[in-house]
Every structure is written in C-alpha cells, then in structure tokens.
Chain A
Amino acid sequence: MNIIALFKIVPDDTLIKISGNSLDLNVPNKISTYDKNAIEEAIRIKEKHGGKAYGITAGITDRKTIREALAMGLDEVISIDMKEMDVMTTAEAIAEEVNQIKPNIILAGESTTDSSGGVLPSYLAAILNYPIVSYAKSISIEGDKVKVERNLTTLTEIVEAPMPAVISVVGEINTPRIPTVRQILESAKKPVRSLTFNKTPKVKIVSISPYVIQRKKIIIEGKMEEAVDKLLSYLRGEGVL
C-alpha cells in the first residue's frame, strides 16, 4: 500500500502579529495544523497495512519542518519549491508527482491555516480522476475500498469509495504523535527529493492587509457583582440589551 500525505509549511498562525498596516509573517514556520493529522493518519495506515508513506509538500520548503514530518514516520518527502502558487498550480505540481508514485490513498488536511481555502484536495482529485472524500473523521480500509466517516456540519455520513482516492481529514481524526529524539536524529538519513515548479498562477495576491475591527478593549476588574453591574450598564448604553 502506498500512501501520500500532503502537507504545507506555513507561518505559525498563532504567532502572526499585526504591526501597523501590515501583518508580521516573519515568524517560525510549522506544518499547517490539520496537515499534521493527515501525516499521522498516513503513518497509522502504513503501520496497520504495510507499504510506504510518502509526504509531498509544496511552497515553502523549510528543511527543518520537513524533517519534523519525516521524524513523525514518513519514509520519504518530495519537496516542491514554488515561489508563486495558487490552488490550481499547486494541484498541478502535486499531480505530476502523484502519477509517479501511484498511491492507493492521498491524505490532506481539511484546510491550511494560511489560505484557509479547503479546496485543494478536491481540485487534485478531479485532475487525477480519483474520487474525493472530504472531512474524514475516521478511515478504515476493506479490501480495495476505503470506508470513511465524514464529519459534515449537521450530520455524519459513512461512505465507501474505491481506491485510489483523495481523502481530506478533520482535526478530530487523531492526535498527531510527537517524535522522539531518536526519531528526530534518524530523520536526517531519510530521503528528501527536492524539485522546483515554476508556472505563473492565474490567481494573484495583490496585497495583504491586517483584518482588524477596532474594539473598545475596556477591562473590568474587581468584585464580580460590581463588574456585572458595570457591564450591564455598558451593554444597555450600547443598546444591545
């Protein structure tokens, strides 16, 4: 069984700060939150069913972060350096590599923390002509089919799809493991295949500005009884109560 986990290296969203009229993106990188769940799930499937677990990352190709993915248990990472990218060019770049590996399953996070679009998995599935199963909260493999519990907003759906398939996972599917020191050391020996993909995307980001709504930021301290009275008078003044 060949499994591919897609992951994206992004500026840590919990550390991004707004400074004046710009976003300070000069913060440490990380594996995008739900992509870690995809890596974890790929490793679990490999541990249960055997085979090889690949990782493909596109965009920022920070070596330290790639090593973290390898330390978690991926066997090999394909690192695609892309200076400019949109969903379309990213999917095209990944598809070229997928066609060489011929996987049974491709796993991806439900969305990334930088662009938060959540559409790459189904875009990729379409150009590969694989079925797409999105928002998986559990995955089991039965013969040549995959059975997935989908976590939709108001309902849960259990579906079955033939492999190869693209599956996007939600954060609830597992708890990503933390590599041991030994695994981190060993990860240095694992193969990373680096390549570049240059194609001008049709979607261009012209500018990024901070999304702030000015709040009053009034702090109310002291005894709760009095604090609530103060709050109530503020809220009545605002006309919201």
Chain B
Amino acid sequence: MKVVIYSEDPEIIKAGASYFPKEYIIGITTREVKYADELYLVDKIDEEFISNFITSLKPDVVLVGNSKRDKTIAGYVAGLLKVPIIPEVMDLEGNKAKRVVYSGMGIAEIEFSYPAVIIIGRKEVQVKEKEKIKINKLEVKEGRVKILEEKSKGEQGVNLSTAEIIVSVGRGIGSKENVKYAEDLANALGAALGGSRPVTAELGWLPEDRQIGLSGNKVKPKLYIALGISGQPQHLAGIKDAKIIVAVNKDKNAPIAENADYTIVGDAIEFCKIMSEKVKNK
C-alpha cells in the first residue's frame, strides 16, 4: 500500500506512521521529521494545490491531521480521488476505525474499504525512526483561492494541548471583567486559561484560540477546573481525556456535574478568590 501522510503539524507524520509500520511512507509537512521514507516540505499552504499534489501521488491511503486547514485538504483530496473519507478517527486497525459522534456523546465503530482518506489526531507513540529519508522541497503555488491578508490572533505561548492544569471559564463567570479572577487562579496554580465556545467564539471574553471543545482544542490535563460552564456536549467532548475534572457552578443539576469528579456548588468568582489565596499560602 502506498501511504501518504499530510499535515501542517509534523507530529501527525509520527502518529500516522505508527498505524502503518511496514509500509513505505510519503510524508508532506512543514518541518523535517524522521518518520517517513520520503518527505516533501512545504513552506506555505494552498489547500487546492496540496490536494492536487497528494492526488497525483495515487495513494491507497491518505492520513491527514485534524487542524482546520488539514481537514479542508482531507475532504478535498477524498473528493478528487472519489474515495471514502473517515473524519476524526481516534483508533484505527486494518479496515476498522473508531470515532466520536453526536457531539462527543457516542463512539461509532466503523468499517470501510481502501483506498480511503482518514483524519487522525496527535498520538503519543513510539515509532522507529527511518534511516534513509529522501527529502524534497515542494514549491506550493497559489490556486483559485487567493490570500489577501493574514492576521495572527496573538496570545502566543499558551499551549492548551500540553497544559497539566487548565482553568476554564464559561458564560457563568458573568462578564469579561470577571475573567481576571480566573486568570489570577490560573497564575496561582501555574495553569493555562481556556474557555467554552460561547465565551471565546461568541462573546469574545477570551481569544478564540483558547476555545476548548469539539470545535476548538481537545485537552488532556491532569486537572481541569470548569468555572461557570454548564457542560454542553461539544464542550464535554473536548475535556473527556482530563484526569480530574472540577466544576464550580451555582446549579448542581447542570450537565457538567454529571461529568465532573468534584462539583462545588456556588459562585465561581468567590471560588477563584478563596482558592487563589489558599493555593498561594500553602
């Protein structure tokens, strides 16, 4: 089988290679890694161009990462190849896969046939490094979609996906001004600060790159503190891998309480003030 792995995230090449240890692997990514037999490096991304390039390799299986741009390419490649696509796979074995469905409420077991395009996520795996790697530069040309402007959302340095402790705010924190209490607590705990979809994408109390949930960052801290988050399925899907979940909510019947290890019934701001003090003075 000819296996092609594409992602703007070089870590995905490693995760992808772990599923096909015996096959010849062609990787396409942004930085040199040692998990492919042949590597194409890109310095920019044009979704149409890269999709056409992947298609021209006539692969039997295409593994693609799960960033927004990666997913766009995955769908386009599958359409160009006219083959099935299986999105957001968490487990893959032969022609069977597992994936999360219904906003994180269910796991579906899936059977499919190759050739296929499969979307995968990062994975902690041991993969043997390849000794001989053929490295090529792929000169990416602009397709029909032209980029006129790019704006970084800023707030560099916070990496929610690797954070050990996360303090996260929801609508129940009350206002943008109140977010500072959560920030104080995060600082006291050495934690990263995140938020639910309403708070990040809709109300703008936190930058959008801090969004935790199915459509934002999926996180796996050892401690997750949810402040004023009611617990919509899309949020719960993003925190399933947390070791311990603490919720602070006025309503002990909120869905988050069903999905938390400890729920403090009460005001999130009062909690932040007292908890910050106690952590600092320990």
- Whether the pair A228, B271 counts as a contact (CB closer than 8 A) is yes
Using A217-B261, A221-B252 as known contacts, say yes or no to A122 and B76 having CB atoms under 8 A apart: yes
The segment out of B15-23, B28-36, B128-136, B143-151 that lies at the interface is B143-151
Q: Please pick, from A110, A126, A157, A229, the residue contacting B51 in the complex, using a CB distance under 8 A.
A: A126
User: Counting CB contacts under 8 A, is B201 at the interface?
Assistant: yes
B73 within 8 A of A: yes
Cβ contact within 8 Å between B79 and A161: no
Please report the C-alpha to C-alpha distance between residue A155 and residue B201 in the assembled complex, in whole angstroms: 13
In whole angstroms, how far apart are the Cα atoms of A121 and B60 in the complex?
22
**How far, in angstroms, from A156 to B208 measured CA to CA in the complex?**
10
- Render B77-96 as a binary contact track against A, CB cut-off 8 A, 1 for contact: 11110111111100000001
Which of the candidate stretches A39-47, A57-65, A189-197, A233-241 sits at the interface with the other chain?
A233-241
> Which residue on A lies nearest to B117, using beta carbons?
A119
Stretch in contact with the other chain, from A12-20, A67-75, A177-185: A12-20
Q: Decide if B257 is an interface residue (CB 8 Å cutoff).
A: yes
Chain A residues within 8 Å of B174, by CB: none
List residues of chain A with CB within 8 A of the CB of B102.
Answer: 11, 13, 16, 23, 25, 113-114, 116, 208
Contact (Cβ within 8 A) B265 A219: yes
Residue A120 at the chain B interface, CB threshold 8 Å:
yes
Contact B101 A115 (CB under 8 A): yes
User: A54 in the interface, Cβ–Cβ < 8 Å?
Assistant: no
Residues of B within 8 A of A (CB-CB), count: 89
B138 proximal to A (CB < 8 A): no
Docked complex: B58-116 residues within 8 A CB-CB of A: 67-69, 71-80, 82-88, 96, 100-113, 116
Check: B42 CB closer than 8 A to any chain A CB.
no
Q: Do A151 and B112 form a contact, CB below 8 Å, given A88-B78, A115-B87?
A: no
B152 within 8 A of A: yes
A241 touches B223 (CB 8 A): yes
Say whether A203 contacts B110, CB under 8 Å: yes
Pair B79/A122 contact, Cβ less than 8 Å:
yes
Q: Is the CB of A159 within 8 A of B76?
A: no
Is B263 a contact partner of A125 (Cβ separation < 8 A)? no
Given contact pairs A122-B73, A211-B107, A88 touches B208 in the complex (Cβ within 8 A): no
Name the contact of B85 in the complex, choosing from A87, A125, A157, A229 (C-beta under 8 A): A87
**Interface pair B82/A88, CB less than 8 Å apart:** yes
Bound-state Cα–Cα, A161 to B47, Å: 13
Report whether B266 and A157 are in contact in the complex, using a CB–CB cutoff of 8 Å.
Answer: no
Say yes or no: A220 contacts B263, CB within 8 Å.
yes
> Which residues of A from 47 to 106 have beta carbons under 8 Å from B?
86-88, 91
Asked whether, in the complex, the Cβ of A205 is within 8 Å of the Cβ of B72, the reply is no
B158 smallest CB distance to A (angstroms)? 11
Chain B residues near A217: list those with CB within 8 A.
257-258, 260-261, 263
Flag if B232 contacts A14 (CB, 8 Å). Answer: yes
The winner among B101, B197, B267, B279 for most chain A CB atoms within 10 A is B101
Q: Given A16-B102, A240-B243: A216 and B84 within 8 A (CB)?
A: no
Question: In the complex, what residue of chain A is closest to B197 when comparing beta carbons?
Answer: A171
- Complex contact A158–B110 (CB within 8 A): no
Within 8 A of B (CB), among A1-37: 11, 13-14, 16, 18, 23, 25
CA distance A229 to B278 in the complex (A): 8
A87 near B265: Cβ-Cβ < 8 Å: no
Closest residue on chain A to residue B214 by CB atoms: A116
Residues B263 and A219 in contact, CB atoms below 8 Å apart: yes
Q: Which residues of B contact A204 (CB under 8 A)?
A: 110-112
Pick 28 A–B contacts, CB within 8 A, sort by A. Answer: A11-B102, A87-B84, A116-B88, A119-B75, A122-B74, A123-B75, A135-B68, A158-B148, A159-B145, A160-B145, A170-B201, A201-B84, A202-B84, A205-B108, A206-B109, A208-B107, A217-B258, A217-B263, A218-B262, A219-B265, A220-B264, A221-B265, A224-B271, A227-B265, A228-B264, A229-B278, A238-B243, A240-B222
Enumerate chain B interface residues (CB-CB to A < 8 A): 47-48, 51, 67-69, 71-80, 82-88, 96, 100-113, 116, 119, 143-153, 165, 189, 197, 201-202, 208-209, 214-216, 222-223, 232-234, 240, 243-246, 252, 257-267, 270-271, 274-275, 278-279
A-B pairs, 9 with minimum CB distance: A126-B79, A122-B75, A117-B87, A119-B75, A131-B144, A123-B79, A158-B149, A216-B261, A13-B103
